[in-house]
């Protein structure tokens, strides 16, 4: 072997990006990113980097970010069963169990909820059907009132789940007290009354949401106190 040949073999080969990947590998990598950092925007560039591809290469697999997100939603759905609750429980407890299960899923993948809420995917229909079944076990609804009850429970659940997914681990009590100095005296006095209790509410916020949602739903049930 000549000196030139020896030099050539001693130079390490440059590692380039992977020439190809499967759609499944890309989706799995994207789900991994969502699980590691749920609030970091899931960009095409981040997903491409996770599988060792150039960002533009991902468009060979997905037309746009919306198509990628749709594939992620379907993969997440396939990886878990639909929300199911014990039909032997009182219907109020069934509603609470449904709300809590949906909340847990949203907190894990908050960015997918935003995509679904924007109409990008109708994934919510599967869990929505379970809520309809619970409501049907509670009473004999007409379709219009059933739709209202479904909207009330699901919208309340989704809205408060988004808040929970994005809230701080602890309420910023000291910061709130500091901000009181910038409020009009009357407003500051009012808020000073509730700030101490916010930490306690923070610990069991969703339980409070469930209790109040079910209580309101009881008044909507056909034949209940508010409808009889």
pLDDT tens per residue across span 199-221: 778 778 899 999 999 999 999 99
Question: What is the sign, positive or negative, of the torsion defined by CA atoms of 61, 63, 66, 67?
Answer: negative
- Which domains are seen in the chain, by residue range? 17-78 (1.10.10.60), 91-218 (1.10.357)
Report how far apart, in Å, the C-alpha atoms of 69 and of each of 44, 46, 49, 57, 179 are: 10, 13, 16, 16, 39
Q: What percent of the chain has pLDDT over 90?
A: 47
CB 202 within 8 A of CB 171: yes
Whether the model clears a pTM of 0.85, i.e. scores above it, the answer is: no
CB 213 within 8 A of CB 152: yes
Three-state secondary structure call for residue 222: coil
What does the pLDDT look like over 174-186, one tens digit per residue?
888 999 999 999 9
What does the pLDDT look like over 110-127, one tens digit per residue?
777 766 665 555 666 778
CA distance 192 to 118: 38
Q: Taking phi first (over 0 means left), then psi (-120 to 50 degrees means alpha), and beta for anything else, what does residue 109 get?
A: beta
* The pLDDT of residue 95: 96
Does the pLDDT value for residue 155 go beyond 60?
A: yes
User: Which contiguous run of DSSP H or E holds residue 136?
Assistant: helix 124-138
Which of the pair, 105 or 3, is modelled with greater confidence?
105
Q: Give the distance from CA 206 to its chain's centroid.
A: 14
Question: What is the sign, positive or negative, of the torsion defined by CA atoms of 138, 221, 214, 78?
Answer: positive
CA distance 70 to 62: 10
What does the pLDDT look like over 57-79, one tens digit per residue?
999 999 988 889 888 888 887 77
């Amino acid at each position: 072997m000549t000196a030139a040949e020896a030099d050539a073999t001693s130079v390490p080969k440059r590692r380039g990006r992977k020439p190809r990947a499967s759609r499944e590998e890309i989706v799995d990598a994207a789900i991994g990113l969502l699980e590691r950092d749920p609030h970091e925007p899931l960009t095409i560039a981040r997903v491409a980097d996770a599988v060792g591809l150039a960002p533009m290469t991902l468009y060979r697999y997905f037309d746009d970010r919306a198509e990628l997100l749709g594939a992620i939603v379907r993969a997440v759905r396939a990886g878990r069963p639909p929300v199911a609750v014990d039909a032997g429980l009182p219907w109020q407890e069934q509603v609470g169990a449904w709300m809590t299960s949906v909340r847990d899923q949203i907190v894990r993948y908050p960015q997918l909820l935003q995509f679904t809420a924007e109409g990008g995917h109708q994934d919510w229909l599967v869990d929505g059907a379970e809520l309809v079944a619970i409501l049907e076990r509670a009473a004999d609804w007409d379709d219009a009132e059933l739709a209202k009850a479904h909207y009330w429970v699901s919208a309340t659940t989704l809205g408060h789940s988004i808040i929970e997914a994005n809230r701080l681990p602890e309420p910023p009590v000291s910061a709130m007290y500091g901000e009181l100095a910038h409020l009009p005296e009357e407003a500051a006095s009012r808020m000073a009354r509730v700030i101490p209790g916010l930490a306690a509410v923070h610990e069991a916020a969703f339980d409070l949401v469930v209790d109040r949602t079910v209580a309101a739903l009881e008044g909507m049930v056909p034949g209940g106190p508010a409808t009889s």
